Chains A and B, each alone.
Chain A
Amino acid sequence: MLCEKCKKNPATVHLKQAINGTVTEQHLCQACAEADGFLTDMTWNHGSFGSLFDDMFQDMFHFSAAPEALGTKEGTTRCPVCGMTLEQFKQGGKLGCAACYETFAPYLQPTLKSIHGSNEHKGKIPQKSGGQMMARREMETLKRKLALAIEKEEFEEAAKLRDRIRQLGKEE
């Protein structure tokens, strides 16, 4: 995709802006984005924006770089919440906030696989934010057990499992 403004360079900066419920999208090259002040004014510095950036603003403002740009124009990928750039992360090896995981996902996913051999958490679930997750995980386990019980023709067990699944479904 070419830059919408200069129509010469490939677009590496993608902006989505919501103003009064109208969403506009812009695809620019690094130079045009900088010229328009998108990269300099919005350094997303926590120092000046900190209090502004509550969840509402984060949802309204979505800022990301195209995955294909990651290898080349790394400086353009910047976390909208804490301001960390991909380059900074690569240098220091530390992410700046929880949202960085999403911002740098295209870069992180393959790395995680090579570090851990897996992309999926199988450990502890926090009680508070994890209530629904726990129910979902239990549901999955029950369904697996049910399939197994049916396969083994253990119908009494299967009936019990079915009832539990139904009950859990209602609770959700």
Chain B
Amino acid sequence: MAKWYENSAVNEGIVISSRVRLARNIKKFPFPVQMKQEEAEEVLKTVKDAVLNDRTPLANAFLFRRVDTLPMEEKRTMVESHIISPVLAQQQKPCAVLVKDDETVSIMINEEDHVRIQTIFPGENIDAAWDLADKLDNLLEETIEYAYHEQAGFLTACPTNMGTGLRASFMVHVPSLEKTGQMAHLSRTLSRFGITVRGIYGEGSDSLGGIYQISNQITLGQSEEEIIKNLKNAIHLVKEQEQKARKAIRQKDALAYEDQIYRALGVLAYARKISAAESAQCLSLLREGAQEGLFQWHYPKTMYQILMETQPCHMQQGGSKTAEQRDVARASLLRQIFQH
């Protein structure tokens, strides 16, 4: 089953992917922060049964994975792949995730809320992501009664998520805005419209390779459709600004612009050891170069997939390695891809 990040749409525009997250809680249980071990187990079972039952055609496509009992390394790898959040990786109480085979859907159980439905689509596709999340939400609701209040909407552990419980976000690649130091300014402008700019792995994370997440902050007082429309307007502005910045940089010194991109290709194709940060930087330049028409992206994987697979925990798979051993393994993996 092809994964969402293998789709060429991930490589083509400023928007890498579109994601929707719905936070829900089950009426009869306390929220995860206050629940007992047995209650946590019961929540796991309730949600699992709601998805993996004979009545839904989805059952075969989903895999249930218990998370709290996994080794930390494996959990971190799942975080790097956006299957689970850093919060779930840290959760001590019984917790799990239901993952769809193409990784477009993951339903986290007992994260900050009982249920976190997440859908990710390649490219600029937020409507499809919302549509699917909405349907999954309806499916769960067939057997689960949610904590809901007429005026307050869906009740969540953190009041910043209450109401719709919806976080819609675009993962964007904006290397030129980053280079020209415009991200801070843009972030301030967007916050006035209830839009937040975060790092690649969401709250509290840094940007990597010029990648950011842009999402709605407000969840109460607007309908899901209004929230998504507002976010689309914001993303339009981000795209415009990035294109403008790219053009300005290229026009200022076309030779230097091309040179740095081809140098990045040289590093990826021939380096003998490379850190995660440097490879992210080079991959970012290459993605931009291909978009700007300097060369064709004829490599077997999308930039985002390579970026993900060269993250520290992914590189750690198959036995423990020192930082240098990881850098050597990373360089070797990159050479295989870029010496084509």
Is A166 an interface residue when CB atoms closer than 8 A count as contact?
no
Whether B221 contacts A95 by the Cβ 8 Å rule is no
Query: Which of B25, B148, B160 contacts A129, CB < 8 Å?
Result: B148
What residues of chain A lie closer than 8 Å to B164, measured between beta carbons?
A: 121, 123-124
Query: Which of A46, A111, A118, A119 contacts B34, CB < 8 Å?
Result: A46
Taken together as a complex, chains A and B put the C-alpha atoms of A15 and B162 apart, in Å, by: 29
Chain A count of residues within 8 A CB distance of the other chain: 36
Is B222 an interface residue when CB atoms closer than 8 A count as contact?
yes
Whether A46 contacts B30 by the Cβ 8 Å rule is yes
Taken together as a complex, chains A and B put the C-alpha atoms of A127 and B144 apart, in Å, by: 11
What residues of chain B lie closer than 8 Å to A92, measured between beta carbons?
A: 33
What residues of chain B lie closer than 8 Å to A97, measured between beta carbons?
A: 29-31, 34, 147
Q: Please judge, given known A-B contacts A82-B30, A98-B25, whether A121 and B150 are in contact too, CB under 8 Å.
A: yes
Is B65 an interface residue when CB atoms closer than 8 A count as contact?
no
Is A29 an interface residue when CB atoms closer than 8 A count as contact?
no
Within 8 A of A (CB), among B177-231: 194, 218-224, 226-227
Is A93 an interface residue when CB atoms closer than 8 A count as contact?
yes
Among A94, A100, A123, max chain B CB count under 10 A is at A123
User: Could you give 13 example pairs across A and B, Cβ below 8 Å?
Assistant: A81-B30, A93-B158, A94-B157, A96-B31, A111-B159, A112-B220, A116-B221, A121-B151, A122-B223, A123-B166, A124-B137, A128-B141, A129-B148
Whether A121 contacts B163 by the Cβ 8 Å rule is yes
B interface list, Cβ under 8 A from A: 25, 27, 29-31, 33-36, 39, 112, 134, 137-138, 141, 145-160, 162-164, 166, 194, 218-224, 226-227
What residues of chain B lie closer than 8 Å to A98, measured between beta carbons?
A: 25, 27, 31, 147, 149, 155
Whether B36 contacts A50 by the Cβ 8 Å rule is yes
What residues of chain B lie closer than 8 Å to A126, measured between beta carbons?
A: 141, 145-146, 148, 154
Taken together as a complex, chains A and B put the C-alpha atoms of A101 and B222 apart, in Å, by: 20
Whether A95 contacts B134 by the Cβ 8 Å rule is no
Q: Please judge, given known A-B contacts A98-B25, A101-B152, whether A129 and B145 are in contact too, CB under 8 Å.
A: yes
Among A84, A94, A121, A133, max chain B CB count under 10 A is at A121
Taken together as a complex, chains A and B put the C-alpha atoms of A123 and B155 apart, in Å, by: 13
Given A94-B112, A125-B148, 13 additional A-B pairs, CB 8 A? A94-B31, A95-B33, A97-B29, A97-B30, A100-B31, A101-B149, A115-B159, A118-B218, A119-B151, A119-B221, A120-B221, A123-B223, A124-B224
Query: Which of B134, B147, B156 contacts A124, CB < 8 Å?
Result: B134
Whether A120 contacts B148 by the Cβ 8 Å rule is no
Closest to A136 in B: B150
Closest to A137 in B: B150
What residues of chain A lie closer than 8 Å to B149, measured between beta carbons?
A: 98, 101, 121
Within 8 A of B (CB), among A16-70: 46-47, 50
Is A75 an interface residue when CB atoms closer than 8 A count as contact?
no
Taken together as a complex, chains A and B put the C-alpha atoms of A93 and B156 apart, in Å, by: 11
Output the least CB separation between B11 and chain A (Å).
33
Closest to B33 in A: A94
